[in-house]
A and B are shown apart, each in its own frame.
Chain A
Amino acid sequence: MAEYSVVGHRIPKLDAREKVTGRGMYTGDLRMEGLLYGKIVRCWEYAHAKVKKIDFSEARKVPGVVKCLGPKDVTQRSYNTTIMKLLVPEAFSDVFGEIADLYVFNGHVKHQGDAVCGIIAKSEEAAERAAEKVKITYEPLPVVMTAAESKRKDAPQFTALKPGNLAANFPEAFFPGGAYGHNAPDGKTAAQHMKEADLVIEETFYCPRQKQVQMENHTYIARYDDRGRLTCWTSTQMPKPVQNLIAELFELPLTRVRVVQAPVGGAFGCRLGMIGEPHACALAMAVPGRPVKVEFLREEDWVASESRASGHLKVKAGFKKDGTPVAIDAHYEVLKGGYYTHGSGPPFCTAAFMYGMYKWQAMAMRADIWFNNMVPYGAYQGYGNPENTFAVEQIVDRACNELGLDPVEWRRKWHKGIGDDTWLMGVKYASCGLDDCIDKATRAIQWNKKKKEYAKMKGRKRRGLGIGVMQHTSGAWPMLLEYTNLVMRLNEDCTVEMMVSVSDLGTGGHTAVCQMAAETLGWPMDDVHLKCCDSDCNGFDIGAHASRTIYCVGRTVTQGAEKLKQELIARAARNLQVKPGDLAWGEDKEIYCTWDPVKRINARQIAKESIYSFDDPATGKTIGIPGQIVVTSDDFVKHCSPPFSASCAEVEVDIETGDVKVLSFYNAHDIGKAIHPPSVEGQLEGGSQKGFGYVLTEDIYYDKNGLCLNNDFTDYKMLGASDMPQEMGAILVESAPDPVGPFGAKSCGESALMGPIGSVANAIYDAIGVQITEAPITPERVLAAIKQNGGVKK
């Protein structure tokens, strides 16, 4: 393995110090002259209603109120919060049926928390008091919560753009039979080929509506200045695409829209696109010259920003007696929520990641996505993969149990690998470290020893072990556009300004790209300065999603650094009057001729002369080569190098209370190369907390009127410090470096969520012999399942 001087090292993150001192400034910490405060007035009373009348008369009387804005006072254009349509050809958007069904202020309230109107005031408090005094007359509409209610012929219609309330499915134009998958070698469909199976398991899984719950409340500042430029300070994950969306929404050229990406206080997919930017900008346009701040309260997060997709995933899977995976045929009935946003994106990925994992002889998954009066779903780490993992990993263990096969060995035998199709048909795996991951995870948890120990437990507390494997992606090609543009400028003192719009969500992306640049240049970290987070000086970059930062931006960065070095070599060659191929890099930026080391020049001299360019008074000739060295690098990566992982969980189930405790957990992740190991571990560890939450405690609950019951930290239960297992290990597996990723690296940003889901569900099954197919696996569900099965079976 190569020895690197900065890549792979456990250096402190660039932003760590300002965060521990409290000097890191999030959007809400910014102070500006003349700042006004905006409040979005939302419908809290109803999940479904028409707005009949908005009466601002009392609100206007509140001291400090500057303006009250109704739907007609802001842009009339409709929009979609996501950037997805920018990342696919226009024809695709049409075929997939993307619509723009959202307005800044909505007259048809489609979920509790929908934005109805806005207030601008001189203080937050005045804005809140005025918001309370706005009299809105609603005409309640029948509430639609389930798919069954949504698809009824007499169901209230959500949008004229989608008659019948089917928000999306997999269009026939791209998916024969409306299914993602492939037929058996003899051409039979998955349903037909199922007949070849000796064992068929059919099960319906409930997949919960998990919420990202980043700690920083959604906060925005927008200002429409005296030059007619609209600036928006935001912690979006995708600053450049959002710049495009804002420009479109407010009908401005890009030159008049600036997006400043403030430090992001967590995102996890919630901020993949826009949330409050349209509102903050609309309010700012109403008070030209004045900055307007809009800060969400915590209770708004669950009702006014997108969640994970949820619904019922019905899976039928067939196996031969020897375990051969014959066919898998699935149908995901998904609850869209009130607005289209990501459409079929996450359910498509549920199907795709189902396809990418095991060697099914035939596969088909359909999805029907129905509008309902819940918060709309958008993106959340995993983007459909958690649902796939929750269902299929459990089905595999059930099949192994019924066929008398070992679940670890079954996975070893039947997982896809190099040369097989990834989640996207036609794109083949180029690296796969899964076998090594399985080895390391099972060894770390002492699989064989504990399996024996727990095989015949009695009493109230029952322990079990479970394994869950997964594959994900690094970047979204070819499903979506992958493009990053970078400019590297060599300063007069031979240090580098690197201008690239790279999003760091706390994930360590800023640090890692500097490590990669410094390593490629062969220069110290201090010699690289990253200028990002400002659309005024950054070229296009997608942003942080689909676990693309290290892989895609990293490639662009290393390619740019190589180009910079080549330019320096080219100038050195002209200077020394040799060929570029004759030169090599020495210590401390020295360039020397390999066949005559006396011929040498330092890159610092080249940098200085490129700018401070003078003519020799004696000869009249220019000294050195003039012209500042500026290189651009574009990368349209054409792969997605999926990472794999194997997770093992040990749980203890209290069969009297139904309580499940995770005792130990190991996640071995096929990272290829860990650029910044503490950040990779951090992603795996943090992702585990969310994965445990998905499978054990988290869901958004609504009452029968569609009103949210748990939009707070107390009732939306996430695992806290004492709930997390004390014995936990993130194992970085670097034995399968990727040929496409920079330094062999693959992603980890989303992967960590999936492993815990499969392994914990399977550990519970191992502990009590009963499989629970509804997540989160709450104590109530554990007890109900035990009761229904007539007791604990082991």
Chain B
Amino acid sequence: MKKRSITLYINGEEYTITVQAHHTLVHVLRNQLNMTDVKHCCGRGECGACTVLVDDADAPGGRKPIDACMVLAAMMDGKKITTVAGLEEDGKLHPVQQAFIDEGAVQCGFCTGGMIMKSISILEKNPKAKEDEIRSELEGNICRCTGYVKIVDAVKKAGSWSTKR
């Protein structure tokens, strides 16, 4: 098995690690770096549970959402990645996290991390995103508990949040 030495910048910290070339980002995050805030569900890009944000100069808001199961860790060498654990600042939750709590959008919580990351990207792209756009963008994140009702409410509530980071 081929190995690669890579550097990942995750939630503002630098990690230089050796990875198997065929390992996905979600596998490396969860099993090599013990970042279990990123969940593993379908492993094939259908459900969005492993959504993380990757800095990308071309993306609106400067970062784009990806399914961590759909990229090889080795391909992410040098990239800046934000996971759910990186949202909190000094104990203060990100507005989207707080909105999920306030609106009762959390039930079993398994989809919640990925759902929050995707929701952040929706609002960074368009802080004034309306319901149609929110729902369409959330198609790649599956939830079986909530029927999406309070999730959409939470995203709308957080929509007034500033794009300043």
User: Residues of A at under 8 Å CB distance from B?
Assistant: 10, 12-13, 15-26, 28-29, 31, 124, 212-217, 263-268, 297-298, 505-508, 678-679, 681-682, 685-690, 712-714, 718, 720-722, 724, 726, 728, 730
Contact status B108-A21, CB under 8 Å: no
Chain B: minimal CB distance from A784 (Å) = 28
Contact status A22-B108, CB under 8 Å: no
Could you list 20 A-B pairs, sorted by A, with CB under 8 Å?
A: A13-B101, A16-B100, A17-B93, A17-B101, A20-B112, A20-B113, A21-B85, A22-B36, A24-B109, A215-B110, A216-B39, A265-B110, A506-B106, A506-B145, A685-B148, A686-B146, A688-B147, A720-B138, A720-B148, A721-B136
Q: Assuming the A-B contacts A215-B142, A216-B108, A722-B139, are A22 and B84 also in contact, with contact meaning beta carbons closer than 8 angstroms in the complex? A: yes
Contact status A12-B102, CB under 8 Å: yes
Query: Which chain A residues lie closer than 8 Å to B84 at the CB level?
Result: 20-22
Given B39, B43, B97, B151, which contacts A297 in the complex, CB threshold below 8 Å? B43
In the bound complex, CA of A215 to CA of B37 (Å): 15
The closest CB in chain B to the CB of A29 belongs to: B36
Interface string of B65-99 (1 = CB under 8 A from A): 00000000000000000011101100001000110
Contact status A263-B109, CB under 8 Å: yes
Chain B: minimal CB distance from A128 (Å) = 12
The closest CB in chain B to the CB of A10 belongs to: B104
Q: How many A-B residue pairs have CB under 8 A?
A: 176
Q: Label chain A's interface by main secondary structure.
A: loop
Contact status A265-B116, CB under 8 Å: no
Given B39, B46, B100, B101, which contacts A713 in the complex, CB threshold below 8 Å? B46
Contact status A712-B42, CB under 8 Å: yes
Contact status A686-B131, CB under 8 Å: no
Query: Which chain A residues lie closer than 8 Å to B135 at the CB level?
Result: 721-722, 724, 726
Contact status A216-B110, CB under 8 Å: yes
Query: Which chain A residues lie closer than 8 Å to B98 at the CB level?
Result: 20
B53 at the interface (CB under 8 A from A): no
B19 at the interface (CB under 8 A from A): no
Chain A: minimal CB distance from B160 (Å) = 18
The closest CB in chain B to the CB of A235 belongs to: B108
Interface string of B126-145 (1 = CB under 8 A from A): 00000110111011011111
Given B30, B87, B101, B144, which contacts A686 in the complex, CB threshold below 8 Å? B144
Chain B: minimal CB distance from A519 (Å) = 19
Interface string of B48-76 (1 = CB under 8 A from A): 01000000000000000000000000000
Query: Which chain B residues lie closer than 8 Å to A23 at the CB level?
Result: 37, 85
In the bound complex, CA of A179 to CA of B14 (Å): 68
Query: Which chain B residues lie closer than 8 Å to A686 at the CB level?
Result: 107, 143-147
Q: Assuming the A-B contacts A21-B88, A22-B38, A724-B148, are A13 and B46 also in contact, with contact meaning beta carbons closer than 8 angstroms in the complex? A: no
The closest CB in chain B to the CB of A729 belongs to: B149
B152 at the interface (CB under 8 A from A): yes
In the bound complex, CA of A721 to CA of B153 (Å): 12
Query: Which chain A residues lie closer than 8 Å to B43 at the CB level?
Result: 297-298
The closest CB in chain B to the CB of A30 belongs to: B36
Which 3 pairs across A and B sit closest by C-beta, in order of nearness? A22-B37, A506-B108, A19-B109
In the bound complex, CA of A328 to CA of B11 (Å): 63
Q: Assuming the A-B contacts A20-B100, A215-B41, A298-B42, are A720 and B106 also in contact, with contact meaning beta carbons closer than 8 angstroms in the complex? A: no
B162 at the interface (CB under 8 A from A): no
Contact status B97-A20, CB under 8 Å: yes
Most chain B Cβ neighbours within 10 Å, of A10, A15, A19, A212: A19
In the bound complex, CA of A7 to CA of B108 (Å): 21
Contact status B110-A682, CB under 8 Å: no
Query: Which chain A residues lie closer than 8 Å to B38 at the CB level?
Result: 22
B44 at the interface (CB under 8 A from A): yes
- Supply 15 further A-B pairs (C-beta < 8 A) apart from A19-B106, A215-B145, A265-B110: A18-B109, A28-B39, A215-B111, A216-B39, A216-B110, A266-B144, A266-B145, A506-B107, A506-B108, A681-B149, A685-B150, A687-B147, A713-B47, A720-B139, A726-B131
